[in-house]
Every structure is written in C-alpha cells, then in structure tokens.
C-alpha cells in the first residue's frame, strides 16, 4: 500500500516538482532559507506540525500519535560550491552553486514520505520525526541539529543517500561500519638556528606515507593524506623559517583514529628534530568538522533490510563494501540506533552516471517514489514492531 501510494502519478509529479524547485535554487550550508521555506510550505499544506528553526534553517516535523515510540527520518538540504555543467530545463540558477550530491532528491523523498505517512496517520503506532537538516557538507549541521533538540525522545533514526554506483531501483547497505570517519591535521614546523623548516617538512611528508603502508593492518582501510604544504622566509636569508602542512585522516574505528593521530604527531615531531626544527600538531579535536565513522546498528540494519526486501525483492538489495567517504549522519548514529542506506540512481539512458561532487552529476528521478516509500515503510513498520 505504501509503494502504491508512492507511485501514484499525483505524488510522483509533486515530488519531482519539489526536487526541481530546490535544484534550481541551490543554497550552501546554513543558507538554505528558500529551501527551508519551501519545505515548511509543503508541511503546512499537509497539516503537519513542525518546529523551526533548528540549526538556523533546519526543521523538526512530527507525524503520528505524539506518543512513544519515536523514530526519526533525516534528509540533508545543502548544496555545494560547484558550477553546474549539465544542461537541462531545471539546472541551477545560482552561479557557482549546485546540488551535486543529491540533497534536493533527499528532501523531495522525505517530503513524499511525509505525505504518505500523513495519509496513513491512523495506522501509526507512535510518532515519526522528520528532520530536514542544513549543512551536511560543512560537517556541523547534524551536531547543531542535535544541540537544538532534533533527537529529543528519538529511539532510532534512518537516512539514505542516492548512489550512482547502484542502478535505479536497487538499494544497498551493510552491517557495522559503512562510511569512514574523517579528521584533519595541521602541523607548524619552526626552524632552529641554521636549519631549514621546509626541508624538515618535506622529510616529514615522506615519513607520513609509511604509517598506513607499513604500520596499519592491511585488512583495515585507513588513509593519511597530506593535502597542502607552504613555507615562508621570515629571516631575509631565503631559508624558510617556518613551514605549515596538513591533510586528512580517515579510518573505520575510533581506535584507529587515535592510533593514526598519535603516530602523525610522533612522526612530525621526530622528523623536525632530526633537521634541527620543532613541530606542533593540531588535530582540531573540538571541531565539528571531525566526523566519527558512520556505523549501522545491527538491529536497525536487519529491520531496514527486511523492509527493503519487502519493497524491492532480493534481486534489488545488495550488501555493499565500506566506503572511505564520510557523513555527518555519524553524529546521530553515535547517540541512537541508526541505519544508513544507499538508493541507486544509475541509469545510462537518462545520463545519470556521474559521481557526486562533480559538475555533471544528475539523478534519475525514477528513484524518488522508492525513496519516499522506503522512508515511510521503515518508520511505520518500526513503530508497529516497537509500539
């Protein structure tokens, strides 16, 4: 019944319209004012109550009894600072901004789920919380939503993300760690008397490459990447007196994160001393931009898989490999049982083949009904089983 509702022409065309309006007016992190206004307008038409603002532009809506249990569904709203290169009727009208990660589709799917759940509100055995979150790309939208009460009373949470790696109509996920945690480091190397800070930095970069290749478990994916290096004279002699370098760290467990951070600092300090310099390292530990790994709760994963199989059948559900990408949904998954699902949008016939975060990225809108249905079915069946 949920799938039938999601596929009705009226709802399909409406979801496409919502998605296209958002796509034409992409807004960056914490600037999603028009996107938020459009969502609230649709919620008002559906007579769905909501709280606004959370995290500046975010929304927390509720459907159901208003009583426990509470299950949350989350969609992100922000776009990227990318100039859209594709050419279609509804391309971005905002220069240098583009929905290059599918968040416009995520919002349309969740609004579609809201409409389905409202139509079936008498069937709900608890409360569905609908979270429309800003600033996923900036890395701190989820944290600010949480601080503003997004997870109040919530027992579990579900989200999904479009994927060009899966064909349209196919869904995929896995138990345990699905997406890597992501952190950053910056080191400042200062030259001692007669020493060269840039030479010390260069040696440190080479030594950092051995941490993963020589010290890490080869069966556990980890990344240490130096992404910038710069130096300045400051002495008038042409010899760099100070160098800065930094980069990113990715791993699938907090334990490996701590180990990588420790070894990076040890390498930076020791190599600098070899060249007569001193080094300090900052890992931005208190920053919202440090993502923990996104890990699927085992029971929530089984619930999601069972629901997905009922919707699309065994041939259209895949256990996917872990990905080194990071997601701020991980902040929710640290606090309540959570599950993250990929929904396929790959369709060569419409040109939906390009990776996210690229100027040619586009989606197959035929995925919208399935996205709305899996959201609604996940929530309704969760409440039925836990109510």
Tell me the pLDDT tens digit for each residue of 356-369.
Answer: 999 999 999 999 99
303 assigned binding-site residue = no
pLDDT tens sequence across 274-298: 999 999 999 886 666 678 899 999 9
CB of 297 within 8 A of CB of 178? Answer: no
Residue 53 confidence (pLDDT): 98
pLDDT value, residue 278: 96
Average pLDDT (303-314) is: 97
The conformational region for residue 332 under phi > 0 = left, psi -120 to 50 = alpha, else beta, is alpha
pLDDT digits (tens, 9 = 90+) for 209-231: 888 888 777 767 888 999 999 98
Q: Is 277 annotated as a binding residue?
A: no
At residue 236, the pLDDT reads: 61
At 115-159, the pLDDT tens digits run 999 999 999 999 999 999 999 997 689 999 999 999 999 999 999
Q: Residue 237: its pLDDT value, please?
A: 65
Sign of torsion over alpha carbons 137, 343, 156, 65? positive
Q: Tens of pLDDT along 227-276?
A: 999 987 765 667 889 999 999 999 998 888 888 999 999 999 999 999 99
357 carries a ligand binding annotation = yes
State pLDDT tens for residues 41-86: 999 999 999 999 999 999 999 999 999 999 999 999 999 999 999 8
Identify the pLDDT of residue 32: 98
Q: All domains of the chain, ordered by start, with CATH?
A: 1-179+293-386 (3.40.630.10), 181-282 (3.30.70.360)
Residues 218/184, Cβ–Cβ less than 8 Å: no
Structure confidence at residue 239 (pLDDT): 80
106 marked among binding-site residues: no
> Given this model, what pLDDT does residue 311 score?
95
Confidence tier at 173 by pLDDT (50, 70, 90): very high
Q: What is the pLDDT of residue 215?
A: 75
Q: What average pLDDT does range 334-353 have in this prediction?
A: 97
How large a percentage of the chain has pLDDT more than 90?
A: 85
pLDDT of residue 290: 78
pLDDT of residue 226: 94
Q: Is 386 annotated as a binding residue?
A: no
Distances in whole angstroms, Cα of residue 237 to Cα of each of 140, 232, 240, 274, 355: 43, 11, 8, 21, 47
């Amino acid at each position: 019944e949920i799938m039938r509702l999601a596929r009705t022409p009226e709802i399909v065309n409406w979801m496409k319209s919502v998605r296209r309006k958002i796509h034409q007016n992409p807004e960056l992190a914490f600037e999603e004012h028009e996107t938020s206004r459009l969502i609230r307008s649709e919620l008002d038409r559906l007579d769905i109550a909501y709280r606004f603002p959370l995290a500046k532009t975010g929304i927390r809506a509720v459907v159901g009894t208003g009583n426990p249990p509470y299950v949350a569904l989350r969609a992100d709203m922000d776009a990227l600072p990318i100039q859209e290169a594709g050419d279609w009727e509804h391309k971005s009208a905002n220069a240098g901004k583009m929905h290059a990660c599918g968040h416009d589709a995520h919002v349309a799917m969740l609004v579609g789920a809201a409409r389905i759940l409202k139509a079936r509100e008498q069937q709900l055995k608890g409360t569905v919380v609908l979270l429309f979150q800003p600033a996923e790309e900036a890395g701190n939208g989820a944290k600010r939503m949480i601080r503003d009460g997004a997870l109040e009373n919530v027992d579990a949470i579900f989200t999904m993300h479009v994927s060009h790696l899966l064909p349209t109509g196919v869904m995929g996920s896995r138990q345990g760690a699905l997406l890597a945690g992501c952190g950053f480091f910056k080191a400042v190397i200062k030259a001692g008397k007669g020493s060269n800070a840039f030479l010390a930095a260069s040696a440190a970069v080479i030594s950092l490459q051995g941490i993963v290749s020589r010290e890490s478990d080869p069966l556990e994916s980890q990344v240490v990447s130096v992404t910038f290096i710069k130096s300045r004279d400051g002495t008038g002699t042409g010899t760099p007196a100070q160098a800065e370098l930094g980069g990113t760290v990715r791993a699938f467990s907090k334990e490996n994160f701590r180990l990588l951070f420790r070894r990076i600092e040890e390498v930076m300090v020791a190599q600098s001393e070899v060249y007569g310099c001193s080094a300090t390292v900052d890992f931005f530990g208190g920053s919202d931009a440090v993502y923990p790994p996104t890990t699927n709760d085992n029971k929530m994963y089984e619930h999601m898989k069972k629901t997905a199989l009922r919707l699309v059948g065994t041939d259209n559900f895949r256990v996917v490999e872990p990905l080194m990408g990071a997601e701020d949904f991980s902040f929710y998954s640290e606090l309540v049982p959570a599950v993250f699902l990929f929904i396929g949008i790959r369709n060569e016939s419409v040109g939906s083949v390009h990776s996210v975060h690229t100027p040619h990225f586009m989606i197959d809108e035929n995925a919208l009904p399935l996205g709305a249905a899996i959201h609604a079915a996940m929530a309704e069946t969760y409440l039925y089983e836990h109510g």
